[in-house]
Structure 1
Amino acid sequence: MAEIARRTTDKRNRVMFLIHRREVLSQAIDSFKNQGVNSELLTAGMVQTLTRRVNTMPTPDVILVDEAHHALAKSYQNILNKFPEAVILLFTATPHRTGRIQLDQIADDIIVGQSIHDLTEKGFLAPFRYFQPPGDFNEKMLKRGSTGDYTNESMQEAMSTKIFGHIVKQYNRIAPGKQAVVYTYSIDSAIKIANEFNAEGISAIEVDGTTSKDRRDIAVKRFKNQEIKILVNVNLFTEGVDLPNVDCVIMARPTASLALYLQFSMRCLNPRKGKTAIIIDHANNFKKFGYPDDDRDWKLAMKSGKQKSQTLLKDPGISIVTCDYCFAVVKASEVKDGKCPMCGKPIKVHEAKPVSDVDLVEASKERQRKIKAAIQDRVMTNVLNKKVGELKSFAELAAYGKLHGYKPGWAYFMAKKKGLVK
């Protein structure tokens, strides 16, 4: 953005920069200055301030909007609509909003940058290890509020009361001594988590929206200087703020927002030679969103309408169920009408319970690959001595075809003939 601004002002054109957080604004202005942007032709400010001055500001030729997934808000639209002749460039790492209304309402097209995986391969982001609870998080307790994300009250109910000490235990087991940022859902929970860390002799400090600017700045400075190990916050350190020495992120809250999930999980991915970041997910957000570096179809995700998770996830991981009768391990998505796709007997998808004090497990892609392979092997074993007429699912037909060397289209043809697919 600073380079685009420099080229704009070099041609004696005016540029405007919009952002919604004070901390990011000061960093941006420094970047623009270092890049040689003509400050006399630059208007840079928080959208909350500039929307009140929109009738007195000089007309920009180019408008740069940072964290542009917020740009559908009235304050942004008040500014953007005031200057219809300006070229508007929207920048965001997460071009998807919670809800049905997406950025296609204000953007003509999307230019997709390099993927997280590619940036990691090239050394611009650190590789990571991801840890999650071994069971499912009880999402039934979660209720959405007006923002589209879960309400504090429902998160309080869903998260076990034992979680606070458990967070410290898992940190000591998985990431001892690492600089960590904890994301939680309420001031009360943040204070409890910080107190638990301090009680164990691990320096921690809590900051939230009610924390004064001076106290917040001191906390961040002490964290950057590694005077404290743990920075516990309530929705503060998500977008733009520079915290270069974070080696571990602890998610102590669930979220329904992909943008928030990526901002939480990627906070620790600043690269350093030899660094492997640690992501500890106590709320099993992984189950909903997959890995931070999964490929996502952003062009489809920016279109308004009812969004399905597959538009955002390439491989969100799989939920598996074991049949109590034939002991087949199957995908939960393959259970139709409450019956096992292998033997046809009733199958139970057991209700998840909140995780309180179990060790988290690493969610590695190799582990997911092995689970898939195990399912495929089990299906192959089940069809070994069966006839075609006895096959009851597309998975069985595909395994049978592979076992007998049939062409891939055979399974689909037979499944259609049996009425298993439309």
Structure 2
Amino acid sequence: MEGTNGQDGRRGPVRLRPYQQDAIARLRARVRAGVRRLIIVAPTGSGKTTIAAHVIAGAVARGSRVLFMAHRRELIHQAYGRLIDLGVPEASLGVLMGRDPRWRPGAPVQVASVDTLRHRARPLADIVFVDECHRATAKTYRDIADGYPDALHLGLTATPFRASGGGLGDVYDELLVVASPQELIDQGYLVAPRVFTVPEEDLPDLSGVRTRQGDYEPGALEAAVNRKGLVGNLVDHWTRHAKGVRTVAFAVSVAHSRHIAARFQEAGVAAEHLDGATPLAERDAILRRLDAGEITVVSNAMVLAEGWDQPAVKCAILARPTKSLGLYLQQAGRILRPWDDQQAIILDHGGCV
């Protein structure tokens, strides 16, 4: 999502789009009808956090207390900033995330990191939001949710199913579908990608890679894809179809991601790598350089598939084969926000499309 808008996530005044207004109206109607556990489903880039922030702002104005949970700091910053944009006073907003200085335990809205919240006293809440709620079946999320038996529980996701392909019906009761990707493309809020695949002989051999929890086993998958010829093909394919376009590459592992970045560098392309162990200040600096055009390619290992938004990045290299529809949609969706009339390009090297 909006990971490049500064630590507080602010973007300026928020004006709801028609489909967002319609979604909020339908949500309120379902709540009035007695629904207490509902998922708001909308494509990556559609503004799910804006919808949530508008609902939260209205709830606070009516005297309700709200807990908004997310698993990444970028999502915490984004939600906080969007609430400020919608006029919620900073004094009414608290952040529960490590040693974040915005800790205000008496504030009616708490924007919380799941990892932090599991070790802290639970704030009071009449409404509990879970961002990226396809994760809500995990024990940590369930334990937190169980502490709010009388609250209204609302989830946000583009992919309302587990990695294994199962549904979320044991956590939520209804889905509210905001809009389909095609509808938002037709309305100009997303861009249709141009997809380039490679011949079957240039795809990794996955015949010996087992499936675990609905997707390829990571260790064996890394061995299958982190090969000199396959990684070299990424660079050649990019040079033919997306040369000069700011790009994100999705790798299987840290070693695979570093290998991809190194091959781009050998080809004279300004490229960098980041992963979950990259210090936060360094990660932010890399993404700022990408946003400024100082580098062209950022390769990553399971960091930028969620909670990140840089509309100027208009090419995605899918170097990580996956059986997970959710992961594929998250990765591909990162480049679909309109920017400067540029075409979105997907280079599929995992047989995902």
TM-score grouping bracket, smaller chain normalisation:
0.7 to 0.9
Match of 2:114 in 1: 47
Question: Matches of residues 273-288 of structure 1 in structure 2 within 5 Å?
Answer: 273-286=340-353
Alignment of 1:152 onto 2:215: no
- Secondary structure at the residue paired with 1:31? helix
Between the aligned partners of 2:315 and 2:239, the Cα distance in structure 1 is 12
The answer to whether the Cα contact below 8 Å between 1:246 and 1:270 also exists between their aligned partners in 2 is: no
Aligned partner of 1:15 among 48, 60, 66:
66
Identical residues among aligned pairs (%)? 34
Per the TM alignment, residue 100 of structure 1 is displaced from its structure 2 partner at its CA by: 5.8
Between the aligned partners of 1:80 and 1:189, the Cα distance in structure 2 is 37
Aligned partner of 1:4 among 42, 51, 55:
55
- Secondary structure at the residue paired with 2:175? coil
Alignment gaps of 5+ in structure 2: 1-51, 94-106
Alignment gaps of 5+ in structure 1: 287-422
Between the aligned partners of 1:80 and 1:109, the Cα distance in structure 2 is 17
Equivalent pairs, count: 283
- 1:83 partner letter: Y
The answer to whether the Cα contact below 8 Å between 1:96 and 1:258 also exists between their aligned partners in 2 is: no
Per the TM alignment, residue 229 of structure 1 is displaced from its structure 2 partner at its CA by: 0.1
CA shift digits 1:359-405 (9 cap, x unpaired)? xxxxxxxxxxxxxxxxxxxxxxxxxxxxxxxxxxxxxxxxxxxxxxx
Between the aligned partners of 1:195 and 1:26, the Cα distance in structure 2 is 31
Aligned partner of 1:209 among 265, 276, 282:
276
Between the aligned partners of 2:297 and 2:305, the Cα distance in structure 1 is 16
Alignment of 1:70 onto 2:135: yes
Per the TM alignment, residue 283 of structure 1 is displaced from its structure 2 partner at its CA by: 1.2
The answer to whether the Cα contact below 8 Å between 2:274 and 2:301 also exists between their aligned partners in 1 is: yes
The answer to whether the Cα contact below 8 Å between 1:180 and 1:250 also exists between their aligned partners in 2 is: yes
Per the TM alignment, residue 205 of structure 1 is displaced from its structure 2 partner at its CA by: 0.2
Structure 1 length-normalised TM: 0.65
The answer to whether the Cα contact below 8 Å between 1:69 and 1:103 also exists between their aligned partners in 2 is: yes
Between the aligned partners of 2:224 and 2:258, the Cα distance in structure 1 is 18
Between the aligned partners of 1:234 and 1:20, the Cα distance in structure 2 is 17
Aligned partner of 1:226 among 272, 290, 293:
293
Between the aligned partners of 1:126 and 1:47, the Cα distance in structure 2 is 32
- 1:183 partner letter: F
Question: Matches of residues 15-414 of structure 1 in structure 2 within 5 Å?
Answer: 15-37=66-88, 38-39=92-93, 40-53=107-120, 56-99=121-164, 101-135=166-200, 137=203, 138-145=205-212, 147-159=213-225, 160-286=227-353
- Greater relative contact order structure (CA < 8 Å, 6+ sep): 2
User: Runs ≥4 in structure 1, deviation > 6 angstroms?
Assistant: none
Match of 1:364 in 2: none
The answer to whether the Cα contact below 8 Å between 1:125 and 1:270 also exists between their aligned partners in 2 is: yes
Between the aligned partners of 1:101 and 1:183, the Cα distance in structure 2 is 24
- 2:174 partner letter: D
- 1:276 partner letter: Q
Per the TM alignment, residue 163 of structure 1 is displaced from its structure 2 partner at its CA by: 1.1
Match of 1:392 in 2: none
The answer to whether the Cα contact below 8 Å between 1:197 and 1:204 also exists between their aligned partners in 2 is: yes
Look at both structures and tell me which one has the larger radius of gyration over its CA atoms.
1
Between the aligned partners of 2:138 and 2:219, the Cα distance in structure 1 is 25
Between the aligned partners of 1:268 and 1:101, the Cα distance in structure 2 is 26
The answer to whether the Cα contact below 8 Å between 1:16 and 1:44 also exists between their aligned partners in 2 is: yes
Between the aligned partners of 1:135 and 1:149, the Cα distance in structure 2 is 20
Structure 2 length-normalised TM: 0.77
Between the aligned partners of 2:257 and 2:244, the Cα distance in structure 1 is 20
Per the TM alignment, residue 57 of structure 1 is displaced from its structure 2 partner at its CA by: 3.1
Per the TM alignment, residue 17 of structure 1 is displaced from its structure 2 partner at its CA by: 0.2
CA shift digits 1:131-164 (9 cap, x unpaired)? 112327543222223x432223221333253011
The change in CA–CA distance for 1:227 and 1:273 in structure 2 (over 3 A counts) is: closer
* Larger strand fraction of residues: 2
RMSD of Structure 2 on Structure 1 (CA):
1.5
Higher deviation after alignment, 9-18 or 272-281: 272-281
- 2:219 partner letter: E
